[in-house]
């Protein structure tokens, strides 16, 4: 006997992953859209008259978001002006194709579109970055640059808010990743439906409680035009592990995704815990808790042939950089000041005779100062050319 829809008398065609309800197509659309509407109204996401940029990649999440927001804006008269904003990372064979989908979406949904590219903003495409750094850490560059590129594009479009297609699965993964990294600052922020209110532009996630599986179902049954190929420089291994872990959890406990989000929301940080304070980047003016924002450090590294400068435990790189510069400066002083030079030589020889060895050793290989000086020359780390804010960072 055919299964009936739990909400009407029609025949059910799917089982909702989120609730287990058997639903017909129309009732699924209704339930899906109403939940997004509830998320928007509960969090007061929109203000009448605002211009809202939808971060559009051509993928399923942002395509469904554009479609649903356009429908809800008409149905419930939010009174917002919707526009599409895309970032071209410069990934041949991936982003160029997906941007074609966005351009079709622009026609289908009749919304204005702006595309900003890494090449025009940073002078680098992801293809060129991957050529320099390889396939490890490429997503760090891409993620940091994209975040800033979206803000810059949004400012050019004079929008008041950005919305992105991040879904419940993405947010649960981010919670797990921040727990594993012990990143209290991000853990506290990552479940917020709106971020960036203190900085550039507010950025909201209307799909915060929407399951990825349901977004795929919605796009499939509505026959939406979206691009489903994976990035050629994927996967982002760390997020991939968090995703696999949550999928395993879901098999044991179907509500795992929402449970993780709720756990993240319930976490509170003691007042005594010191969190990074937000300021602005000394070079580009973008929000940053350090003198230079992450994008400027990564860019500096790329432009100087030191692409690992802003990656991982980058303080080690910076410390090394500072030590090398200090050594070089010291060596320069010895050469240019005759009195100092004699004094230094005398001190060095007396230290040598006292300890039996030279005090100034290369920290990398203990071979002596000349090796260090050569490394400095090789890397062209002339203090005058380095941004002072970078040195102090």
Site residues for ligand SF4 per CB under 6 A: 89, 126, 138-139, 142-143, 231, 233-234, 236
Cβ 95 to ligand SF4 shortest distance, Å: 7
Cβ 130 to ligand SF4 shortest distance, Å: 8
Residue 293 as a binder of Zn ion (CB under 5 A): the answer is yes
Name the segment binding Zn ion (CB under 5 A); options: 10-18, 154-162, 292-300, 375-383: 292-300
Which partner from the list Zn ion, ligand SF4, none does 234 bind, CB cut-off 5 to 8 Å by kind? ligand SF4
Cβ 248 to Zn ion shortest distance, Å: 39
Closest CA to 386 of 372, 374, 375, 376: 376
Here the contacts of 279-283 (C-beta below 8 Å, separation 24 or greater) are 282/389, 283/387, 283/389
Cβ 267 to ligand SF4 shortest distance, Å: 26
- Residue number with CB closer to ligand SF4 (209 or 233): 233
Q: Pick from 150, 217, 296, 321 the residue near Zn ion by CB under 5 A.
A: 296
Burial grade of 373 (CB within 10 A; 0-12, 13-18, 19 or more): middle
Which partner from the list Zn ion, ligand SF4, none does 139 bind, CB cut-off 5 to 8 Å by kind? ligand SF4
Residue 284 as a binder of Zn ion (CB under 5 A): the answer is yes
Task: State both tokens at 22.
Answer: 């058997």
Task: State both tokens at 146.
Answer: 């994209």
Burial grade of 121 (CB within 10 A; 0-12, 13-18, 19 or more): middle
Which partner from the list Zn ion, ligand SF4, none does 296 bind, CB cut-off 5 to 8 Å by kind? Zn ion
C-alpha 202/C-alpha 195 separation (Å) is: 6
Here the contacts of 138-146 (C-beta below 8 Å, separation 24 or greater) are 138/233, 139/233, 139/234, 139/236, 140/298, 140/310, 140/311, 141/298, 141/302, 142/89, 142/233, 144/294, 144/295, 144/298, 144/310, 145/89, 145/118, 145/121, 145/295, 145/298, 146/87, 146/89
Name the segment binding Zn ion (CB under 5 A); options: 49-57, 212-220, 248-256, 275-283: 275-283
- Residue number with CB closer to ligand SF4 (226 or 233): 233
Cβ 151 to Zn ion shortest distance, Å: 11
Which partner from the list ligand SF4, Zn ion, none does 281 bind, CB cut-off 5 to 8 Å by kind? Zn ion
Residue numbers at the binding site for Zn ion (CB under 5 A) = 281, 283-284, 286, 293, 296
């Amino acid at each position: 006997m055919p299964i009936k829809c739990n909400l009407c008398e029609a025949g059910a065609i799917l089982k909702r992953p989120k609730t287990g309800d058997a639903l017909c197509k129309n009732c699924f659309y209704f339930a899906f859209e109403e939940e997004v509407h509830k998320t928007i109204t509960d969090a007061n996401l929109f203000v009448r008259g605002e211009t809202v940029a939808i971060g559009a990649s051509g993928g399923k999440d942002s395509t469904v978001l554009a479609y649903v927001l356009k429908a809800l804006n008409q149905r419930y008269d939010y009174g917002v002006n919707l526009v599409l904003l895309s970032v071209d990372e410069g990934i041949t064979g991936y982003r160029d194709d997906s941007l074609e989908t966005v351009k079709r979406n622009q026609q289908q949904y009749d919304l204005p579109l702006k595309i900003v590219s890494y090449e025009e903003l940073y002078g680098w495409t992801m293809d060129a970055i991957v050529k320099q750094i390889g396939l490890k850490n490429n997503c760090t560059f891409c993620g940091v640059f994209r975040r800033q590129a979206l803000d810059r594009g949004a400012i050019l479009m004079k929008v008041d808010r950005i919305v992105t297609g991040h879904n419940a699965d993405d947010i649960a993964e981010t919670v797990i990743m921040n727990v594993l990294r012990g990143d209290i600052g991000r853990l506290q922020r990552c479940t917020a439906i709106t971020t960036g209110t203190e900085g550039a532009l507010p950025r909201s996630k209307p799909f915060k409680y929407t399951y990825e599986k349901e977004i795929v179902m919605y796009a499939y049954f509505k026959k939406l035009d979206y691009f489903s190929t994976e990035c050629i420089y994927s996967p982002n291994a760390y997020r991939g592990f968090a995703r696999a872990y949550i999928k395993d959890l879901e098999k044991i406990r179907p509500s795992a995704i929402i449970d993780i989000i709720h756990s993240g929301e319930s976490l509170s940080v003691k007042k005594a815990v010191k969190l990074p304070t937000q300021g602005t980047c000394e070079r580009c003016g973008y929000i940053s808790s350090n003198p230079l924002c992450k994008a400027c450090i990564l860019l500096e590294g790329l432009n100087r042939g030191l692409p690992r400068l802003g990656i991982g435990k980058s303080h080690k790189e910076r410390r090394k950089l500072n030590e090398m510069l200090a050594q070089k400066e010291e060596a320069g002083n010895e050469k240019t000041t005759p009195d100092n030079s004699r004094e230094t030589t005398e001190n060095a020889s007396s230290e040598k005779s006292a300890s039996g060895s030279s005090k100034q050793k290369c920290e990398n290989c203990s071979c002596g100062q000349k090796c260090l000086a050569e490394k400095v020359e090789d890397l062209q780390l002339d203090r005058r050319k380095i941004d002072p804010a970078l040195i102090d960072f």
